[in-house]
C-alpha cells in the first residue's frame, strides 16, 4: 500500500498536469475531459500499473464530484441569461429525457437483442447530458443567450430525473401507477429545498460579517452541499436541490461575490480533474475492445434518432427555429455523468452480465461522442448560423460588509466592452449615500471627481450605506448595460431624492 507522502505526491502531480492540460486542450481544440481520462488510463493497471476496481467507491466519489460541478454551474449561471430559456430548459430536462429513453430503449432491444428493462436502463444512462462538458465547452462558443441558457439549464437539471430513472430501472421493484407520482414529488421537493436553502443562505451570508473573506466561499459551497444532503434525507432529488440552491445564491447579492465565484470555479475544475482521472483509472482498456461495436450502435441511435427527436418534441412548442433545434441536437454532450450512472446500475445489478458491459460501452461512447461533438461544436454553430460574437462579460460587483459602520464597500471592475467606458462619474448618478472613493487604473490609484472619465479595466471602490447598496448595484449594472441612456432609468432613492 502506498504511503501518505506517495499518495499526496501523486495527487498533486495529477492536479498540476490536469491544470496544464486545460491549456493544451484549448490549443488542440479538444475537450479537456479527454485528456483527464487519458491521464487516468495511463496511471491504470494496463500502463503504469495502479490497480483500482472499486465500483462503489468510484460511484460515491463520482456523485460527490458531480455535486461540486453542479454548484459551480449554478453559481456562475446568470438568471437574466437563462430566464428566456426556462421553458425550453425544463422541457429538455424532462420531456426530452423520456423521449430519449424510449427511443434508445426500443432501438437497442431490436438491434442488440437486449431484454426490455435492460434496454431502457441503457437508454436512461445515455440520456443525460453532462454539466461539466457543457459548462466547459459551450461557454467558449458564441451563441445567443436563449440557446446557451437552454443548454445550461438542461445540463444542470436533467441529472435529477435521469438518476431517478436509472435507480428505478436498475432495481427489481415493479413499476406501478405510483411511480410517476413519486418522481414528481422527488423533483418538486428538490426544487423547493434548493430555493429555501438558496434564499436562507444568501440572507445569512449577507448578515454574517465573517472575520475572513476566505470563509465566504466555503460557507456558500457548504450551503449547497447541505441542500444536497437534505434533499437525499427527504427522499427528494438532492442533485436538483444542489443546482437550484447554487442558482439562487449565484444570483443574490453575496458578500465578496467575485471571490466566491472564483473559488467555486476552482473547486469545479478540481472536481472535474479528479473525477475524470478516477474514471480513467477505473477503466480496463483490454475489456473496452469488446464494447466498441455496441457503443457505436448506441451512439448512432443517440445522434441520429434519440437526441434529434427528443429536441423536436421538447422545443417545437416554444417555436424554436429549426437551426437552433439542430444545434441543440448536436450539443447533447456526454461526459462523466453517464459513466457514474452506469456504475450505479452496476452496483444495483452486480450479478447481471449486462451491467459490466454497460459501464464499458458508456466509457467508449463518451470518448467517441466527445471527440465527434466537442471538437465540431463551434463549426456546427457557424454552419447553422447560430454563432455570433461573444457577448461582453457582465460586470462584477464584489461587496464587503463593513459591519460596525453599517455600510458596504463595493469593488467594481469595468469589463472590456462595457457601456461604462467613457462615462463621467457625475453621469453615474449614484443614489444618495453612495460615492466612488477610489479609482485604480493600471498601476495608478487616485481619488476621482465628477469629471473623471471611466476606462475599460478600471477598478472602482464604492462606499455605500447598507440601505442604498441594492440601488447602487442596480444603477451600476444599468449604466454598464445601457451607458449614458441609463440616466433616464435611474433607480429611486430610498430617501426620496434622486442622486
* Percent of the chain at pLDDT exceeding 70: 87
Mean pLDDT, the chain, rounded, equals 82
User: How would you class 217 by CB atoms within 10 Å of its CB: exposed for 0-12, middle for 13-18, buried for 19 or more?
Assistant: buried
Distances (CA, A) of 435 to 206, 428, 468: 21, 10, 11
Which phi-psi region, left, alpha or beta, contains residue 440 (left: φ > 0; alpha: ψ -120 to 50)? beta
Prediction pTM value:
0.76
Q: What tens digit of pLDDT does each residue of 216-275 get? A: 899 999 999 999 999 999 988 898 999 999 999 988 888 887 788 888 888 888 888 888
- Range(s) within the chain of domains with CATH label 3.30.70.1450: 396-489
Query: Quick one: pLDDT at residue 43?
Result: 82
- Residue-wise pLDDT for 371-420, tens only, equals 888 778 778 888 888 776 555 556 667 666 665 566 788 888 888 888 88
Alpha-carbon distances of 352 from 118, 170, 347, 355, 485, rounded to whole Å: 10, 10, 10, 6, 66
Confidence of residue 26 (pLDDT cuts 50, 70, 90): low
**Residue 444, C-beta contacts closer than 8 angstroms, at least 6 positions apart:** none
pLDDT-based confidence at residue 105 (cuts at 50, 70, 90): very high
Q: Quote the cell numbers at residue 275.
A: 473525477
Binned at pLDDT 50, 70 and 90, residue 183 comes out as: confident
pLDDT over threshold 90, residue 466 = no
The three three-digit cell numbers of residue 299, written as one number: 451512439
pLDDT digits (tens, 9 = 90+) for 45-89: 777 777 777 778 888 888 898 899 889 888 988 887 788 888 888
Extract the C-alpha cell encoding 347.
452496483
**Among 52-56, 129-133, 285-289, 437-441, which stretch is predicted with the lowest mean pLDDT?**
129-133
Angstrom distance (rounded) from CA 357 to CA 244:
34
CATH T-level topology, domain 396-489: Alpha-Beta Plaits (3.30.70)
> Any idea which of 23-37, 60-74, 366-380, 429-443 has the lowest mean pLDDT?
23-37
Q: Tell which wins on pLDDT, 31 or 104.
A: 104
Domain with CATH 1.20.1530.20 in the chain: 53-265+296-383
Q: Which residue has the cell 426490455?
A: 116
What does the pLDDT average to over 448-471? 87
- pLDDT score, position 257: 78
Task: Pick the more confident residue, 204 or 45.
Answer: 204
Q: Assign domain 53-265+296-383 to a CATH class.
A: mainly alpha
Amino acid at each position: 500500500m502506498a504511503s501518505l507522502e506517495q499518495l499526496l505526491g501523486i495527487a498533486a502531480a495529477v492536479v498540476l498536469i490536469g491544470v496544464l492540460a486545460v491549456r493544451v486542450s484549448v490549443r488542440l481544440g479538444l475537450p479537456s475531459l479527454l485528456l483527464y481520462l487519458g491521464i487516468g488510463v495511463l496511471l491504470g493497471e494496463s500502463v503504469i500499473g495502479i490497480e483500482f476496481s472499486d465500483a462503489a467507491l468510484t460511484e460515491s466519489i463520482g456523485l460527490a464530484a458531480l455535486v461540486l460541478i453542479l454548484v459551480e454551474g449554478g453559481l456562475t449561471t446568470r438568471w437574466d441569461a437563462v430566464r428566456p430559456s426556462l421553458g425550453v430548459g425544463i422541457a429538455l430536462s424532462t420531456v426530452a429525457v423520456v423521449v430519449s429513453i424510449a427511443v434508445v430503449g426500443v432501438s437497442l432491444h431490436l438491434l442488440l437483442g437486449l431484454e426490455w428493462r435492460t434496454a431502457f436502463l441503457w437508454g436512461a444512462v445515455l440520456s443525460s447530458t453532462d454539466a461539466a462538458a457543457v459548462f466547459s465547452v459551450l461557454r467558449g462558443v458564441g451563441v445567443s443567450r436563449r440557446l446557451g441558457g437552454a443548454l445550461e439549464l438542461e445540463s444542470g437539471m436533467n441529472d435529477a430525473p435521469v438518476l431517478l430513472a436509472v435507480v428505478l430501472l436498475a432495481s427489481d421493484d415493479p413499476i406501478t401507477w405510483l411511480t410517476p407520482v413519486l418522481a414528481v414529488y422527488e423533483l418538486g421537493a428538490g426544487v423547493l429545498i434548493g430555493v429555501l436553502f438558496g434564499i436562507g443562505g444568501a440572507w445569512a451570508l449577507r448578515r454574517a460579517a465573517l472575520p475572513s473573506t476566505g470563509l465566504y466561499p466555503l460557507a456558500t459551497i457548504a450551503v449547497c452541499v447541505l441542500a444536497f444532503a437534505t434533499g437525499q434525507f427527504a427522499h427528494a432529488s438532492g442533485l436538483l436541490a444542489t443546482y437550484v440552491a447554487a442558482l439562487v445564491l449565484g444570483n443574490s447579492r453575496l458578500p465578496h461575490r467575485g471571490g466566491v465565484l472564483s473559488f467555486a470555479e476552482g473547486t469545479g475544475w478540481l472536481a472535474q480533474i479528479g473525477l475524470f482521472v478516477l474514471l480513467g483509472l477505473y477503466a480496463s482498456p483490454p475489456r473496452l475492445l469488446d464494447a466498441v461495436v455496441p457503443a457505436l450502435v448506441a451512439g448512432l441511435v443517440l445522434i441520429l434518432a434519440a437526441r434529434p427527436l427528443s429536441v423536436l418534441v421538447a422545443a417545437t412548442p416554444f417555436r424554436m427555429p429549426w437551426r437552433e433545434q439542430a444545434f441543440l441536437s448536436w450539443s447533447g454532450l456526454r461526459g462523466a455523468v453517464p459513466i457514474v450512472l452506469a456504475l450505479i446500475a452496476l452496483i444495483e445489478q452486480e450479478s447481471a452480465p449486462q451491467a459490466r458491459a454497460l459501464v464499458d460501452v458508456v466509457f467508449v461512447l463518451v470518448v467517441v461522442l466527445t471527440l465527434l461533438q466537442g471538437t465540431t461544436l463551434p463549426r456546427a454553430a457557424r454552419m447553422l448560423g447560430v454563432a455570433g460574437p461573444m457577448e461582453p462579460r457582465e460586470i462584477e460587483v464584489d461587496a464587503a460588509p463593513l459591519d460596525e459602520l453599517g455600510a458596504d464597500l463595493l469593488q467594481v471592475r469595468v469589463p472590456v466592452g462595457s457601456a461604462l467606458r467613457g462615462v463621467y462619474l457625475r453621469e453615474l448618478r449614484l443614489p444618495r449615500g453612495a460615492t466612488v472613493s477610489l479609482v485604480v487604473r493600471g498601476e495608478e490609484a487616485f481619488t476621482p471627481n465628477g469629471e473623471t472619465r471611466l476606462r475599460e479595466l478600471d477598478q472602482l471602490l464604492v462606499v455605500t450605506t447598507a440601505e442604498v447598496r441594492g440601488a447602487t448595484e442596480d444603477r451600476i449594472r444599468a449604466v454598464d448595460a445601457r451607458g449614458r441612456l441609463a440616466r433616464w432609468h435611474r433607480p429611486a432613492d430610498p430617501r426620496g431624492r434622486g442622486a
